[in-house]
Structure 1
Amino acid sequence: MTNALQSVLIERFAARGDGVAADGRFVPGAVPGDQLLPDGSLLHGPDHVEPGCRHFGTCGGCQLQHVSDRLIADFARDRVLAPLARAGIEPEMPMPVHVSPEGTRRRAAMRATRTDGEVRLGFNAEGAHRLVDMAECPVLHPALFTLVGPLRQLLAPWLPERSAIGVTMTLTDNGVDLLLANLQANSLPRIEGLTRFAAEQRLARLSVEGPMGVETLVANATPSLTLGGVPVTLPPAAFLQATADGEAALVSAVTSILGDARRVADLFAGCGTFALPASCTAQVLAVDGAGPAIRALAEAAGRAGRKLTTEHRDLFRKPLSADELSRFDAAVIDPPRAGAIAQTEQLAASRIRTVAAVSCNPATFVRDAERLVAAGFRLGRLWPVAQFRWSTHVELVAEFRR
């Protein structure tokens, strides 16, 4: 019979998903509410659930598959609020956490390798470069997972031993957009094989990326996504939110912050995730350093007659100045994981009164938030969004006003 006096309660999660015991020990695989027994084993609590994938524990994609939905939401909230609290910043209104359902991941970047004569396709193992050969994936949209087996067969004759290629799959409105990196398509048999594969799998587009850049081999349909009611033709491997469900949650939050703003600057706009919805009611300037994405946005907005102009500009090296920003009622900023301290400093120095900040990295978000708060902004509503359902990766939208 277990001696409860000798067990130690798992009280919380660490940032990377390990359980943290009451005595400070980090316990991989533990969930708050579990008991750490004297022999090092775990007595599972009510929020420790059976993982839904055979690759759990080896694949690096899902660290929290053994955690109840209730605690996943708590984890996402704490990942956002805890670093803010350490910086002395408290949102006026923390909003409910949005958790995307399983089977909705519409974009995935994987690797394919040949080891000991066997072709493997999947994600990296946790904390290692070793590849986990994917036999199932409850995260991926079924339309993407369906391609895994046929891709192994396609690549089997072409991959030399110990070689690797990148495989990026994106589910668009008109089918899957497939990009194969480091694969030579320089012979007629290989080109014919890729063309046949694209037809059999009904791909929207198949492209290859090599030393000369990206080349589209097959375009059976226009690989487009509808953003803010406007179809946008995606460049190969273009950035977009991982799930349509998570994207809708982020867009809803940003739209709520912008309100009736008439002039909006969208910084790091990409293909228009936030710029196109905002352009339904506002005049929008969309700025990004990714040329293919900003050109795709400009073409889509032009076809739709939206009140939207674009600018191709590296916002890390040449952020919009305080004077340029002061012409706008509100700004949206959605930088990469590194954050955007130079651009944030210009926002802080401007006369702009409303900022909708979108972030995929709580640490750099806090650093940038400190600049805005020091300049007189207050942090109002804050939405945590866990669209990578079983991952420790969390996104957020924050409302800054002054």
Structure 2
Amino acid sequence: MTIKRLGAKADGIAETENGPVFVPYALPGETVLIEREGSRGRLLSVEAASPERETPFCPYFGECGGCATQHMRHGFYQTWKQETLAHTLRQARIDAPLEPLIDAHGEGRRRVTLHVRFPDRAMHVGFMAARSHHVVEIDHCPIAVQALQRQAPIVARAIGKHLSAARKPLDVQITATESGLDVDVRGHGPITDKDRFSLIDLAASLDLARLSLHGDVIVERRPPAITVSRASVVPPPGSFLQATQSGEETMAALATDACQRAKRVADLFSGCGPFALRLAEKSEVHAVETDKASMVALDKAARATPGLRRVSVEARDLFRRPLLLPELNTFDAVVIDPPRAGAEAQAQQLAVSKVPLVVSVSCDAATFARDAAILMGGGYRLERVVPVDQFKYSPHLEVVGILRRDVVKKRR
């Protein structure tokens, strides 16, 4: 088949009489030999290669489902990612200035989740293959930060071995912090006292900062702290964290720059404070997040950092209980960073509010466009759209939008 174009998920697309066929790891203009199953094709060989093709740097690329674009030259990759966002905005009938893609990979991913499975008598540790439950075993991950590249698989294997008697599927989330690795294990369920003591000894032998099971701390040898501006935050086990430090800093800089004249800011879906603690350098901040443990961590960090403006916190499900007009209209700006599903209910309230500035941060272009269209329908202007590439080598993209509403000043 001949590949005509590239899809939003980085699949090459060939056109046939029976509709499009999606071929992972194929590029436009290439002639490829595939094994076809319905609308999908498995790449067997590239008969005529694109000049935009390059050799992947990871030995697991093509098997591991974590990366999808290491076969693309960098310039082509950036253009494709930017055009994918532009196409999504056009589909939503949004006409706004789209700025150049910012590479925010930095030193790499600071958190990985490795899977431990027992499909046969042997233990398998690694990442999932694309669109599969098959575990691709790895001994390193080159897109992770140095502290995780080789150590993360070692840690996951050691934990899997200690908990292997139950033969339960485990997901081992490992985060690189300033005081060491923070590990949270999911999937096992309750453990015996014997297993608990065994894991405490294991944490010491691996020099882990903290080890948790389903968010329950087994042992904390050192607080797993992360610096946010001048504050030091200890996130709850397994809580949300931006994928890269560079990504967090880039998006926070865009938000704080837009809000620099705001006296009072609401930080919605705040997590444990990557925006709030930076905004509090100049503004009073009210942070709202569903997860109560994240609110406790943010509150503790804010109180321990001298010189910040007041930071108040509220644990609240913004999907079911978005901030309403009497609450919203007390703020000069709102920063909103929802999960992939977006924040449609909150956007509808903002659209009829008097808030002069909204900074919309999203990890999904489609829901960003949907929510931005709602705000624009209520009178906001989308002044800036900045794509931030912290999920490098994947189809995922962060988007930061700056939306302003003209405020009519009352005559005296």
TM-score with structure 1 length normalisation?
0.91
Q: 2:81 aligns with which of 61, 76, 81?
A: 76
1:36 is aligned to 31
Q: Out of 123-132 and 102-111, give the one that drifted further.
A: 102-111
* Cα deviation, residue 308, structure 1: 1.0
* Alignment partner of 1:191 out of 188, 192, 196: 196
Aligned-pair CA distance for 1:115: 2.9
Q: Say which of 8, 11, 30 aligns to 1:15.
A: 8
Structure 2 counterparts to residues 273-312 of structure 1, below 5 A:
273-305=274-306, 306=308, 307-312=310-315
Match for residue 158 of structure 1? 163
Q: Secondary structure at the match of 1:116?
A: coil
Partner amino acid, structure 1, of 2:376: V
Q: 1:82 is aligned with what amino acid?
A: H
Tell me which residue corresponds to 2:55.
50
The 1:186/1:126 distance shift into structure 2, 3 A limit, reads closer
Is the 8 Å Cα contact of residues 54 and 136 (structure 1) preserved in structure 2? Answer: no
Shift of 1:83: 1.1
Which residue is 1:62 aligned to?
67
1:378 aligns with 2:373: no
Deviates more, 1:132-141 or 1:325-334: 132-141
Residue of structure 1 in register with 2:318 after alignment:
315
1:298-356 residue CA offsets vs partner (Å, 9 max, x unmatched): 11111224321111111111111122111111110000111111100111110011110
Mapped contact 2:58–2:142 kept (Cα < 8 A): yes
Partner of 2:119: 115
Equivalent residue for 2:180, pick from 175, 178, 190 = 175
Contact 1:109 1:169 (8 Å CA) reproduced: yes
- For residue 117 of structure 1, what is the amino acid of its counterpart? R
Distance 1:44 1:357, change over 3 A: same
Cα deviation for residue 193 of structure 1 reads: 2.6
Point out the more displaced range, 103-112 or 141-150: 141-150
- Cα 1:288–1:150 shift into 2, 3 Å: closer
How many residues of Structure 1 are paired with residues of Structure 2 in the alignment?
A: 389
Question: How far apart are the structure 2 equivalents of 1:187 and 1:37?
Answer: 54
**Aligned residue in 1 for 2:337:** 334
Query: Contact 2:106–2:244 at 8 Å: present in 1 too?
Result: no
- CA contact 1:102–1:140 (8 Å) conserved in 2: no
CA separation in 2, counterparts of 1:236 and 1:338? 23
Moved more, 243-252 or 194-203: 194-203
- Which amino acid letter does the alignment assign opposite residue 72 of structure 2? V
AA partner of residue 199 (structure 2): L
- Structure 1 unaligned regions, length at least 5: 1-6
Is structure 2 residue 358 aligned with structure 1 residue 355?
yes
Q: C-alpha separation between the residues in 1 aligned to 2:128 and 2:194? A: 31
Cα contact 1:114–1:161 (8 A) shared by 2: no
Distance 1:331 1:162, change over 3 A: same
Q: Do the aligned residues in 2 keep the contact of 1:356 with 1:398 (CA within 8 Å)?
A: yes
Q: 1:217 and 2:241 equivalent?
A: no
Deviates more, 1:353-362 or 1:255-264: 255-264
Alpha-carbon contact 2:289-2:295 (below 8 Å) kept:
yes
Residue 185 of structure 1 deviates from its aligned partner by 6.7
Shift of 1:396: 0.8
Query: Structure 1 residues 161 and 327 mapped into 2: Cα distance closer, same or farther (>3 Å)?
Result: closer
Report if the CA contact (8 A) 1:30-1:42 is conserved: no
After superposition, the Cα gap between the structure-2 partners of 1:216 and 1:28, relative to the gap in structure 1 and judged at 3 Å, is: closer
Q: C-alpha distance in 2, partners of 1:150/1:372?
A: 45
Q: 2: CA distance between counterparts of 1:387 and 1:68?
A: 17
Alignment of 1:262 with 2:263, yes or no, is yes
CA distance in 2, matches of 1:87, 1:288: 28
Whole-angstrom CA distance in 2 between matches of 1:131 and 1:372: 42
Identity %: 36
Q: Does 1:400 find its partner at 2:403?
A: yes
Aligned residues of 1:81 and 1:90 also touching (Cα < 8 A): no
SS of residue paired to 1:396: strand
Aligned-residue CA RMSD (Å): 2.2
Cα deviation, residue 266, structure 1: 0.6
Distance of 1:227 and 1:317 partners within structure 2: 29
Q: Assess if the C-alpha contact under 8 Å between 1:113 and 1:159 holds in 2.
A: no
Q: Residue 203 of structure 1 aligns with which residue?
A: 208
How far did residue 288 of structure 1 move? 0.9
- C-alpha contact (below 8 Å) 1:383/1:396 kept by paired residues: yes
Report the CA distance between 1:90 and its aligned residue.
Answer: 1.8
Kept in 1: contact 2:114–2:156 (CA 8 A): no
Q: Which runs of 5+ in 2 are unaligned?
A: 35-44, 406-412
Q: 2:104 aligns with which of 93, 100, 103?
A: 100
